Amino acid sequence: MEKKLIKAVSLQLKNKFPYKRNLRKLIQYLNTYSDKDIILAPEVSMTDYDYENLNRAVEFGKIADNEIANSKYQGIFAYTRLIKREDGYYNEAVVFHRGKIVHKQAKYRLFLLGNEDKYLNAGKKEEIKKFKIDGIVYGLLICFELRYKELWQELQGCDIILIPAQWGVSRKRHLEILSSALAVMNQCFVLLSNSASENMACSSGLYSPSGGVVRDDFLEAIECKIDLKLSQKIRRHIKLQ
């Protein structure tokens, strides 16, 4: 049966070295918030874009996946990590539920200003698709993908869209405006988890289909509640499909 009120946490973390420090903090939060339904972490929050050590970052991503799967957290957890496929390196998002990976997608729209295309391959658009967990429809966009309206259309009908990001502070207002616009346009909730590292925008939290926002740039963990009855009510009264 679909759950109407969902307890969520957006993590707003700084990427630090060594990698294991980031993983230790993440596991602590998964244990602390083991009663929450959804936890979202920022883009590449375990290793950052450590292009000088891509193979090491990939191997650590495997360690992180294993630690997450074996943690006591049984809700939905999503983050991105660097992986290697046969044709090269990718930034891949994974969604865990009850300790198992239920969805994967590689970043399709790379951020050229950050030279991502020099080190990483772009994923396929077909990987950006809706997926269902316990009767609730989810979607996911990775950071820069938020700017592409055709990807919003791919996720029409979602109840919740997850956005792990590493978005710069110089375009902070863009991040906030786009997250709110996506929530209002798609009549869904947008859960954003952005990096709090130096020169990052923060702005993590929950963006509502009514235009409301729950965010706090000074917290590492932002707790919020997603009331699906609100989006259902809005869809009944303002029919867009």
The pLDDT assigned to 38 comes to 98
Is the CB of residue 177 less than 8 Å from the CB of residue 213? no
The pLDDT assigned to 7 comes to 98
The pLDDT assigned to 1 comes to 42
The pLDDT assigned to 2 comes to 60
Q: What is the pLDDT of residues 192-241, one digit of tens each?
A: 999 999 999 999 999 999 999 999 999 999 999 999 999 999 988 887 76
pLDDT averaged over every residue in the chain? 96
**Domain coverage including residue 204:** 5-237
Whole-angstrom CA distances from 169 to 92, 190, 199, 200, 202 are 23, 19, 5, 5, 8
SS3 227: strand
Taking residues 160-178, report their average pLDDT.
98
Q: What is the pLDDT of residues 108-146, one digit of tens each?
A: 999 998 899 999 999 999 999 999 999 999 999 999 999
State the total domains in the chain: 1
Q: What is the CATH number of the domain that holds 177?
A: 3.60.110.10
End-to-end CA distance of the chain: 24
The pTM of this model reads 0.96
> Backbone phi, then psi, for 3, in 5-degree steps?
-85, 130
